[in-house]
A and B are shown apart, each in its own frame.
Chain A
Amino acid sequence: MSIVKQAKGFWASIVLAIVFSVVVQLLINGGQLNAFYVNTLFLIGINIILAVSLHLIIGITGQFSIGHAGFLAVGAYASAIITMKLQLPFGLALLVGGLAAAVAGLIIGIPSLRLKGDYLAIATLGFGEIVRIIFLNINYVGGASGMQVSHLTTWPWLIGCVIFSILVIVNFTNSTHGRACISIRENEIAADAMGINTTYYKVTAFAIGAFFAGIAGTLYAHNFYIIQPTNFGFLKSFDILIFVVLGGLGSMSGAVIAAILLTIISTYLQDYPETRMIIYSLVLIVMMLYRPQGLMGTKEITSLFKGRKSVKGGVQDESKHTVA
């Protein structure tokens, strides 16, 4: 029963996504969308990938990672080397960007995730900064002045990557692996006692999250004409973190909605960076006061359309099964 329901929603959203992307492509071709809107749309796509990838690490697995821009940077630079230095195709750059970030994720994740506690937060914070400083000091990739990158990110690549990352992460979340990850978030000691290999699942989720951040990095690098280490500072990590926290830890739709809203807000405010930070902070404060669980709590948007009786008294309806 619930599988059929799920499948329906699944195919409906796929069809919707395809229709949407074809329409957008037609609008771009016809010139009805000006450069500002196109650029905002691309940024939204990239930020959605960043949001869902961090959502897997923080929202699903409960591991506090605060250096996501580091993976974005690794993906951006690795892919730029592929296309610009080696003149290889963009598709390969996407793959390499993702894999390079995933490897970086393993290097950070394996030692710090074996330990219980907040080591990951410290390690990822350090990692983000170290990556930035490394790129700052490598002349091969332009040092502080950055690296020229061709504009290769097209709408089909972008929307394809967005759909792909959402599909992979939704499927992972609903799989046995996903359940293991959620159980770690819920109670790591109990998960251990059930014989769940918590280190393995934490590292896996972390590496998958890093992989998609690397994909986002590739799209990001090839969407502008230059990448510089300053694009990948702590503030960038913080922006991504806000998507996940604002959306509601544990809700992927929440993270996506937050990514869309905040990207739109910040593109309109890009000429006033101070104002942007003030507005961000205000939004967060208001959120903490009135909706500390985030926009969506741990619910998914699909559950809003299903049985409404569920909410009271903590009694769950059956379809909630799939939800984190």
Chain B
Amino acid sequence: MLNIQNLNVYYGNIQALKGVSLEINEGEIVTLIGANGAGKSTLLKTISGLIKPKDGEILFEGQNIAGKVAQSIVKKGVSQVPEGRRVFANMTVEENLELGAFLRKDTKGIREDFEKVYNLFPRLQERRKQQAGTLSGGEQQMLAMGRALMARPRLLLLDEPSMGLAPLLVKTIFRIIQEINDTGTTILLVEQNANMALSVADRAYVIETGRIVLDGTSDELNQSDQIRTAYLGGH
């Protein structure tokens, strides 16, 4: 579904991604693990068109979307949940979700997706008239995810959904990620919480200072000594 070849991305003179190649098959959950500053968010932003790569290819269902504007990429079916729960604070939950469907015209489909999102996140339905800025951290994360789903993506990009959440809530979020995937949405999940990420993902890539240094199935990476010491707090 997504096939990235030799992607190079710069911020000015600083190279943030160095020849990154990565593949995601339809229906998978793939996780991208890496330390702070490794380039995870940069990769997501480049896929969704917020940053233009210097060179390299991003094939989404066979079409090269590298360097395309964000608008056309969202329309093609790629939707991103940005890092740090960026909700529209002074708008209600409902208005936030409406904006997720900003590029869509099919009123009927949008109404269906409202139902879907509310089924997935009953908490959002209870609070649909509440200002997003007054939601708890976990609820805001749910809203950010729900809002991305309102674009009816086939590929969902999640940037550290568990950041700053209590362990119980992290579990809930990951269960929902699994549910979203079960309904047929392919997911690229960026995480620092490697334990949880590997528990839901089919496959994983490890990124270090802009380079993919390791990849494999989640089981393989769970077994890997290198990963256990570096990312799983293992022994």
Query: A194 and B91 in contact (CB under 8 A), knowing A314-B134, A315-B129?
Result: no
- Judge whether A183 and B99 touch: CB under 8 Å: yes
A190 to B74, CA, bound (A): 13
A187 in contact with B89 given A180-B102, A195-B70, A314-B131 (CB within 8 Å) = yes
Residues in B52-92 with C-beta less than 8 Å from chain A? 69-71, 73-75, 79-82, 86-92
Give CA–CA (A197, B49) in the complex, Å.
11
Chain A 277-305 interface 0/1 with B at a Cβ cutoff of 8 Å (1 = within)? 00000000000000000000010000000
Determine whether the beta carbon of B50 is less than 8 Å from that of A192.
yes
| Contact residues on B (Cβ < 8 Å of other chain), bracket | 20 to 34
User: With A and B bound together, what is the CA distance between A314 and B74 in angstroms?
Assistant: 31
Q: A276 interface residue, CB < 8 Å from B?
A: no
Residue total for A at the interface (Cβ-Cβ under 8 A): 25
Residue B100 at the chain A interface, CB threshold 8 Å: yes
A23 CB contacts on chain B under 8 angstroms: none
Indicate if B198 sits at the interface (CB-CB under 8 A): no
* Docked-complex contact B87 and A187, CB < 8 angstroms: yes
Q: Name the contact of B88 in the complex, choosing from A190, A250, A315, A320 (C-beta under 8 A).
A: A190
CB neighbors of B among A193-219 (8 A): 193-197
Which chain B positions have C-beta within 8 A of A186?
88-91
> Do A194 and B151 have beta carbons less than 8 Å apart?
yes
B196 at interface by CB-CB < 8 Å: no
Whether, in the assembled complex, B48 has its beta carbon less than 8 Å from a beta carbon of chain A, the answer is yes
Q: How far is the CB of A56 from chain B (nearest CB, A)?
A: 17
- Taking a contact as CB atoms under 8 Å apart, the answer to whether B71 and A197 are in contact is yes
Per the bound structure, the CA–CA distance linking A318 and B94 in Å amounts to: 11
Report whether A195 and B103 are in contact in the complex, using a CB–CB cutoff of 8 Å: yes
Check: B40 CB closer than 8 A to any chain A CB: no
User: Does residue A22 face the partner (Cβ distance < 8 Å to B)?
Assistant: no
Pairwise interchain contact B102-A195, C-beta atoms closer than 8 A: yes
Is the beta-carbon distance between B99 and A179 smaller than 8 angstroms? yes
In the complex, which residue of chain B has the Cβ closest to the Cβ of A324?
B90
Is the C-beta of A6 less than 8 angstroms from some C-beta in chain B?
A: no
Instruction: Please indicate the chain B residues that have their CB under 8 angstroms from the CB of A191 in the complex.
Output: 88, 99
Contacts A314-B131, A316-B129; is A194 near B99 (CB within 8 Å)?
A: yes
CA A192 – CA B44 in complex, angstroms?
A: 13
Name A316's contact: one of B70, B74, B92, B98 (CB within 8 Å): B92
Residues of A within 8 A of B (CB): 176, 179-180, 182-183, 186-187, 189-197, 250, 298, 314-318, 320-321
CB pairs A–B below 8 angstroms (19 shown): A176-B102, A179-B98, A179-B99, A179-B102, A180-B102, A182-B91, A183-B99, A186-B91, A191-B99, A193-B50, A193-B80, A194-B99, A195-B73, A195-B75, A195-B102, A196-B102, A197-B70, A298-B90, A314-B133
Shortest Cβ-Cβ A-B pairs, 5 listed: A195-B74, A186-B88, A190-B86, A314-B134, A314-B131
